[in-house]
């Protein structure tokens, strides 16, 4: 099946595939073609170019996109999209003055979601999650990573990871799976965190690996959750079994998680709201990608990650939603890029690069996703009639998406 899209007002992110994530000045460059055509063939991008050079080709279907722009779908490299219920009550509690950490200390937070998940059947968990997945697909997300971490027991973690596997099988959206057993210490191990880590390493991790349920390993390295040495123990065991680290660090406190993660060749270090000079130096000497989560800062009212500083320091940088019930109950990547421009002062080019090609690197799928490149999957967003691509970020909160194609097919 060949489909030809013609008269595209501007085709964004047309590039040869970079083998590593973009850095520094390269982040400011967004290759585009005005008045373009795009040919897709059998679920893949086949050719593109200027309408002035439109080749004569026989196609099955031709679509006129006058006035509209085309860009690759967003890649969302950090989500907790599989969860049960919601935490609206904690949202109200925060409005009334409690902090995220105070709520967690009272047994709310991640443990609250863990309790709800325990009382939710696997089928029900799938049904709730697939609705979220379909909704972010319509908002232009064509690939995403999903973490476990609300199970906190062998049964619970496997239940979440099996749901992620079912989502992979069910949906055309590309999904990567991350084992986050060390998200919080469950009540049953309240007084003995080390025993919980032993249990993760000796009991849950081997099952996750032998059942092929995760490609990445994550730890919430933070005061009150898991220390740097806890994280090192888990990363040591998990990397030995072939999982690649993508970790939560420096959300509320800088405790040395970045340097430790880099030692284990982390693909990404995520959050980074609180950063010290030594963290920047550690990242400058590594290939690990810094992933910022602006909607978490927006929703919790915590500092934004110093994105501009990271980019200027030459650190590869990506953006993600952190979609989860406690700190970012939205997986809207349009809102992510807008917020990154508004609050982190990224240029539209930097924001788009951070949420497409660099985000694809941040989830290990850059050879197939993240840019308009022949041979990559035909995943792209067609915008409504907009004046320029910067308008997409400026016009925040408004829906400028006309349609979304995943594997060469329009979503309904």
Residue 231 interface partner, choices Fe ion, ligand NIG, none, CB cut-off 5-8 Å depending on type: none
Q: Which is nearer to ligand NIG, 14 or 324 (CB)?
A: 324
Neighbouring-strand partners of residue 410: 405
* Choice between 358 and 371, CB closer to Fe ion: 358
218 near Fe ion (CB under 5 A): no
Q: Binding of ligand NIG at residue 230 (CB under 6 A)?
A: no
* Site track 346-385 with ligand NIG (rule: CB under 6 A), x = hit: ----------------------------------------
DSSP string, 53-94: G------SEEEE-TTEEEEEPEEE--------S--HHHHHHH
Smaller CB distance to ligand NIG: residue 10 or 222? 222
Residue 9 touches which of ligand NIG, Fe ion, none (Cβ within 5-8 Å per kind): none
Other CB atoms within 10 A of residue 169 CB: 7
- What are the beta bridge partners of residue 270? 248, 291
Applying CB under 6 A, what is the total number of residues that bind ligand NIG?
Answer: 13
Judge whether 251 is annotated as a binding position: yes
Q: Which is nearer to Fe ion, 65 or 333 (CB)?
A: 333
| Sole binder of ligand NIG in the list 250, 327, 339, 379 (CB under 6 A) | 327
| Per CB under 5 A, 273 contacts Fe ion | no
Q: From the list 10, 90, 279, 322, which residue makes contact with Fe ion (rule: CB under 5 A)?
A: 322
User: Which pairs from 153-156 meet CB under 8 Å and 24+ separation?
Assistant: 153/118, 153/186, 153/188, 153/204, 154/203, 154/204, 154/207, 156/114, 156/117, 156/118
Q: What CA–CA distance (Å, rounded) separates 132 from 5?
A: 29
Asked if residue 50 belongs to a known ligand binding site, the reply is no
Footprint on residues 233-272 left by ligand NIG (CB under 6 A): 248, 251
Picked from ligand NIG, Fe ion, none, the partner binding residue 13 (CB below 5 to 8 A depending on kind) is none
Taking CB atoms, the residue at the shortest distance from Fe ion is 322
Nearest approach, Cβ of residue 133 and ligand NIG (Å): 18
Between residues 145 and 322, which has the closer beta carbon with respect to ligand NIG? Answer: 322
- Partner whose binding site includes residue 176, from Fe ion, ligand NIG, none (CB under 5 to 8 Å by kind): none
**What contacts 24+ positions apart, CB below 8 Å, involve 228-233?**
228/255, 228/256, 228/257, 228/260, 230/182, 230/193, 230/194, 230/197, 231/182, 231/257, 231/260, 231/261, 232/260, 232/263, 232/264, 233/197, 233/201
Cα first-last separation, the chain: 19
- Binding site per annotation, positions for N-formimidoyl-L-glutamate: 150, 324, 326
């Amino acid at each position: 099946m060949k489909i030809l899209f013609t008269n595209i007002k501007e085709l964004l992110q047309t590039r040869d595939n970079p083998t590593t994530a973009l850095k520094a000045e390269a982040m400011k460059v967004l290759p585009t073609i005005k008045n373009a055509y795009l040919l897709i063939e059998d679920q893949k991008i086949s050719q593109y170019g200027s309408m002035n050079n439109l080749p004569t080709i026989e196609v099955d279907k031709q679509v006129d996109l006058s006035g509209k722009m085309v860009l690759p779908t967003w890649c969302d490299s950090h989500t907790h999209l599989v969860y049960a219920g919601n935490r609206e009550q904690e949202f109200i509690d925060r409005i009334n003055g409690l902090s995220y950490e105070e709520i967690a200390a009272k047994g709310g937070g991640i443990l609250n979601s863990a309790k709800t998940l325990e009382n939710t059947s696997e089928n029900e968990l799938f049904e709730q999650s697939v609705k979220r997945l379909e909704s972010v697909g319509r908002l232009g997300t064509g690939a995403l990573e999903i973490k476990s971490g609300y199970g906190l027991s062998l049964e619970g973690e496997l239940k979440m990871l099996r749901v992620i596997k079912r989502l992979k099988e069910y949906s055309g959206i590309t999904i990567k799976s991350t084992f986050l057993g060390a998200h919080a210490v469950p009540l049953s191990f309240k007084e003995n965190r080390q025993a919980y880590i032993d249990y993760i390493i000796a009991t849950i991790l081997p099952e996750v690996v032998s059942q092929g349920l995760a490609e990445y390993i994550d730890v919430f390295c933070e005061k009150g959750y898991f220390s740097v040495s806890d994280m090192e123990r888990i990363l040591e065991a998990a990397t030995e079994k072939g999982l690649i680290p993508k970790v939560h660090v420096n959300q509320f406190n800088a405790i040395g998680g970045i340097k430790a993660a880099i030692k284990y060749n982390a693909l990404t270090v995520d959050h980074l709201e609180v950063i010290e000079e030594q963290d920047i130096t550690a990242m400058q000497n590594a290939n690990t990608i810094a992933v910022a989560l602006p909607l978490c800062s927006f929703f919790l009212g915590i500092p934004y990650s110093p994105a501009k500083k990271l980019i200027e320091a030459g650190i590869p940088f990506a953006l993600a939603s952190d979609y989860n019930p406690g700190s970012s109950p939205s997986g809207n990547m349009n809102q992510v890029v807008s917020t990154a421009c508004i609050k982190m002062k990224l240029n539209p080019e930097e924001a788009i690069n951070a949420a497409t090609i660099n985000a694809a690197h941040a989830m290990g799928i850059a050879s197939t996703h993240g840019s308009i490149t022949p041979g990559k999957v035909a995943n792209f967003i067609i915008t409504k009639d907009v004046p320029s691509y910067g308008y997409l970020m400026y016009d925040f909160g408004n829906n400028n998406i006309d349609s979304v194609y995943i594997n060469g097919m329009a979503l309904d």
